[in-house]
Structure 1
Amino acid sequence: MLTGKLVRVRHARNKLVPLYLDARNKDWLGIAEQLLLAYRDSAGRTRGEVEAELADLVGEGPNQLVVQGLAKLLEDRCEFEVAADVPPDQVREVVFRTAALRHADRGGDPFDRAAVLAAAAGELKITPEQVDLALFADLRDEQRVLKFEDCTQDQLLHRYNVALAQAILLRCTGMEVRVWNETPARFRQLFRAVKFHRLIGTIRPAEGNSYKIFLDGPLSLFQSTQKYGLQLAMFLPALLHCKTFELHAEVRWGAEKKEKVFALTGADGLRSHTPDFGVYTPREVEFFEENFRTSVADWLISADPTPVPVEGTTWVPDFTLTHTPTGKQVYAEIIGFWRKVSIEEHYQRLKRALPGRFVLVVSEQNRTDEADEFATGAGVYRYKRTPIAAEVAKVAAAAAGV
């Protein structure tokens, strides 16, 4: 992900226009290859050593921000490690204490660094060389590259363009997406991506074999802004798997947070960097399903419910729960981020459209405003850390009257 200072846009009245790169441009492809060569040879080197090698390539010219941005994206593809036989904070504690004692014993005279390292090594039962290496090994520049996930030049340039759009969405207050003429499987995949990233929003069918998705932006929320913003930005690559779409986002830009508009369509040519797996399932949802199957009697659970039309919107539950003695079915949804007004409206819609046929499983940790309580009734299960399958089954039984 690009940091704010690396984002390049131009302003056209109230519009933000990202300065995308042409992934076919030979000059950009050449720069991308030079950066890739540096990172392909980075295993075992420190972060500081890699950055020093790239300093001349980054330079001070008009393309400086682009090269820094490309390098940042490659750095994100690295896995770093702290190369130390003993935790660096523990080593520092022993070394600094030893140095202070020796300094006091010598009446403030300079002390012998090698002697301090040797004394600390004896206490830590390692060599003085290991002490020296570990002393500051956890600092950013001293972290060593464990491995690098390689890519091609054009993949890097396409990733840069997507990262520009993602960085803008981190500052949005709300986003509307319309997607046309996809297969039912693709629409379902997109709806699952909304669920996977725990976004606050609604999905509505529209004319011409299309759907509209309305999503809250991070700057419309009271808290969890950074975490929610990252989730919203990470939703974008899933949208880019669709052929025909329009995205319209309201953005607060700059230090003065001026209101701007950001637009993106399928014609802009952004290419998703994520695999098209087709199914998005959060780990907590998978865990809940496994736990339900093994610990709850008289109920069957299915993780493949059909999206349900509800008062002009489309509801995407996570599960269908079937009570085997009676055959009654209850839809269950594990709620992601929420705020009081949105969850109350959601509950009331379901209550009118599907009375006795739904359970909302609500995390206390994912609320995004100060309101702790919301006005609901039967069919809601609230949890703090992990939803308990047996408790959800009790709520489902009470809602269905079985």
Structure 2
Amino acid sequence: MLPSDLLTHRLNGETIVPKQLAIDDRNLELAAELIACFQESIGNSQGELNEKLQDYEGDSPDYRIKRGLAHLLKGLCEFEVMSPLEPQVLRERVFKVAAQTVPSTFNSQQTLNNLALQLTQELQREVIAEEIRVGLYADLAENKILTSFDTPTPKELLHRYNLSQVQGIFYKASHLTINAHRNVPGQYKLLFRYLKLFQLMAYIEGDAEHGFTITIDGPASLFSPSTRYGLAIAKLIPALLHVTKWSLSATLQFRDFYTNNWKTGRFSLDSECGLVSHYPPGKIYDSMVEASFVNRWEALNTNWVLEREVDLIPIPGSIMIPDFRLVHPDGRIFLLEIVGYWRPEYLQKKFSQVRRANCDNLILAISERLNLEKAGVKLNDCPARIVWFKDKLQPKSVLAILE
């Protein structure tokens, strides 16, 4: 994402409008030139790369755009410390030896040569004096070496820039409401996973048939504005872009540039915004057991329709999203959760959720390979119907419970 000083917004009344770059030939050429600059700098220091970028930026009036694109590209780079030893250890050894001689150009070179011979023997590879000289301060940011670059296409870079400008708006959000309408099965779960991952203070209501309303307290609603929490909200936006139908409205608190007084702004966004997410889409299935079950179910001759992750079970302080929903034309609905993961903490949490949900139409498919007793899990007070399986969950076993 972009730092605050590289964000460009304008006001239209109370509405905040972020800067967007058109995906045209001019901007694509600009992006391509910057990408080439990074590619050519592989093997060079970060300081040398910064000099190149500064020369490219020059006194151009669009320097903030170039600087913003370069900032995003740096996030795709890996800079490493290149030194025969940890620089701090290397400095200690060099300075300890150098302190025993009179300072001079000759003695300095001799010290490096002697230490190069020692390190060649210790490391069992050739170490030259220049390598030690470079390695002395290799841990400084400007001396780190660009070793790899996850090269984007010019179009991908421009999309990332436009998304980052929008994300920056939420740094000062005081209130956020997301309406996730009826969507493709499974997309809700990815969104809720990111809500939990970024530890956002969210209140969720609704159901899979009509959609969900997610209310999030923004960083400016806390006792004091939190940049860290604002970044967490901003990180949620690329995940939201994977949901097919949604709308969002936000209330923002920011200081007026001229008066320094706090002002209220508004911002809205929806699924037709044209922004492109760089987050990978959610996996179709969480495990081979799920994938195999779906394939086998499709071969059954049954009126029960299998849907994936389309229902949410509210639990105090949490939510539970079963793996599948089974719907019959006569209106009967069952939820199916496959429990095949072995970690004790996961099993304890999962069965605690099942008990608190107290859902009378939930089916648990449990792997016989799980050591529930060792994990401290007891099934005698479990309200769900249970199906056991070994390597593969048989659809006929589930169908028997349904019927």
Q: CA deviation at 1:239?
A: 0.8
Q: Give the secondary structure class of the aligned counterpart of 1:160.
A: helix
Cα distance between partner residues in 2 of 1:50 and 1:141: 9
Alpha carbons 1:48, 1:141 under 8 Å: kept: yes
Cα distance between partner residues in 2 of 1:233 and 1:172: 10
Aligned position for 2:265: 260
Aligned position for 1:28: 27
- The alpha-carbon distance between structure 1 residues 205 and 123, as it changes in their structure 2 partners (threshold 3 A), is same
Aligned position for 1:287: none
Give, as a single letter, the amino acid of the residue that structure 2 aligns with 1:153.
P
- The alpha-carbon distance between structure 1 residues 177 and 264, as it changes in their structure 2 partners (threshold 3 A), is same
Cα distance between partner residues in 2 of 1:109 and 1:146: 35
Q: CA deviation at 1:278?
A: 4.0
Cα distance between partner residues in 2 of 1:224 and 1:318: 36
For residues 172-195 of structure 1, give each alpha carbon's deviation from its aligned partner in whole angstroms, at most 9, with x where no partner exists: 233211122422322333333323
Give, as a single letter, the amino acid of the residue that structure 1 aligns with 2:112.
L
Alpha carbons 1:15, 1:261 under 8 Å: kept: yes
Give, as a single letter, the amino acid of the residue that structure 2 aligns with 1:277.
G
Give, as a single letter, the amino acid of the residue that structure 2 aligns with 1:137.
A
- The alpha-carbon distance between structure 1 residues 128 and 311, as it changes in their structure 2 partners (threshold 3 A), is closer
- The alpha-carbon distance between structure 1 residues 334 and 311, as it changes in their structure 2 partners (threshold 3 A), is closer
Q: Give the secondary structure class of the aligned counterpart of 2:69.
A: helix
For residues 112-141 of structure 1, give each alpha carbon's deviation from its aligned partner in whole angstroms, at most 9, with x where no partner exists: 532443455466554322211101112111
Scaled by the length of structure 1, the TM-score of the pair is: 0.67
Give, as a single letter, the amino acid of the residue that structure 2 aligns with 1:11.
L
Aligned position for 2:156: 155
Q: CA deviation at 1:306?
A: 6.4
Q: Quote the RMSD (CA, aligned, Å).
A: 4.2
Q: CA deviation at 1:311?
A: 9.1
**1:26-175 superposed matches below 5 A:** 26-102=25-101, 106=102, 112-118=107-113, 120-121=115-116, 124=119, 126-175=127-176
Alpha carbons 2:175, 2:216 under 8 Å: kept: yes
Aligned position for 2:333: none
Q: Are 1:177 and 2:159 matched, yes or no? A: no
Aligned position for 2:312: 308
- The alpha-carbon distance between structure 1 residues 92 and 251, as it changes in their structure 2 partners (threshold 3 A), is farther
Cα distance between partner residues in 2 of 1:309 and 1:216: 22
Q: Give the secondary structure class of the aligned counterpart of 1:315.
A: strand
- The alpha-carbon distance between structure 1 residues 318 and 242, as it changes in their structure 2 partners (threshold 3 A), is closer
Q: Give the secondary structure class of the aligned counterpart of 2:186.
A: helix
Cα distance between partner residues in 2 of 1:252 and 1:191: 26
Q: Give the secondary structure class of the aligned counterpart of 2:278.
A: coil
**1:159-238 superposed matches below 5 A:** 159-205=160-206, 209-221=210-222, 225=226, 228-238=229-239
Unaligned runs of 5+ in 1: 282-303, 323-329, 336-346, 358-388
For residues 38-60 of structure 1, give each alpha carbon's deviation from its aligned partner in whole angstroms, at most 9, with x where no partner exists: 12223212122222222232122
Unaligned runs of 5+ in 2: 121-126, 287-307, 324-336, 340-346, 362-370, 384-403
- The alpha-carbon distance between structure 1 residues 274 and 355, as it changes in their structure 2 partners (threshold 3 A), is closer
Aligned position for 2:290: none
Alpha carbons 1:204, 1:211 under 8 Å: kept: yes
Identity %: 29
Q: Give the secondary structure class of the aligned counterpart of 1:70.
A: helix
- The alpha-carbon distance between structure 1 residues 159 and 109, as it changes in their structure 2 partners (threshold 3 A), is closer
Cα distance between partner residues in 1 of 2:265 and 2:378: 45
Cα distance between partner residues in 1 of 2:275 and 2:319: 28
Greater C-alpha Rg: 2
Cα distance between partner residues in 1 of 2:277 and 2:56: 27
Scaled by the length of structure 2, the TM-score of the pair is: 0.66
- The alpha-carbon distance between structure 1 residues 109 and 159, as it changes in their structure 2 partners (threshold 3 A), is closer
Aligned position for 1:247: 248
Cα distance between partner residues in 2 of 1:193 and 1:66: 29
- The alpha-carbon distance between structure 1 residues 77 and 110, as it changes in their structure 2 partners (threshold 3 A), is closer
For residues 271-302 of structure 1, give each alpha carbon's deviation from its aligned partner in whole angstroms, at most 9, with x where no partner exists: 11222234698xxxxxxxxxxxxxxxxxxxxx
Give, as a single letter, the amino acid of the residue that structure 2 aligns with 1:246.
S
